[in-house]
Amino acid sequence: MIRVSITSMVLVLVCTSAGIVVLLWLLSEWLRSRREARLRRRAKKCPLCFFEFLTAAPLPQAPCPRCDAPTE
Ligand SMILES: [Zn+2]
């Protein structure tokens, strides 16, 4: 039988829990950055009226829904 002190058992438990929390945090940050990059590709800003909008697909020249001016 393996003899383990209560201190080392608590230390292993705390370190494992902290590691799981850090891994979940890194995973959520990675997923959030991917989601924001996807939205940023679809985001357009009109050069005339400065209206910001999202397009359905990443089109190079989507017209502004407010003033119908082409965007870059
Ligand atoms: Zn506009």
Distance 15 CA to ligand 1 centre (A): 54
Q: Any idea which of 21-25, 45-49, 67-71 has the lowest mean pLDDT?
A: 67-71
CA atoms within 13 A on the CB side of 72: 4
In DSSP notation, 14-65 reads: HHHHHHHHHHHHHHHHHHHHHHHHHHHHHEEE-TTT--EEE-SS--SSPBPT
Distance 52 CA to ligand 1 centre (A): 8
Q: How many domains does the chain have?
A: 1
pLDDT of residue 2: 84
60 pLDDT exceeds 80?
no
Quote the CA–CA distance of 14 and 12 in Å, as a whole number: 6
Domain span at 44: 1-72
pLDDT confidence band for 32 (50 / 70 / 90): very high
Distance 20 CA to ligand 1 centre (A): 47
DSSP 70: B
pLDDT of residue 5: 94
pLDDT confidence band for 36 (50 / 70 / 90): very high
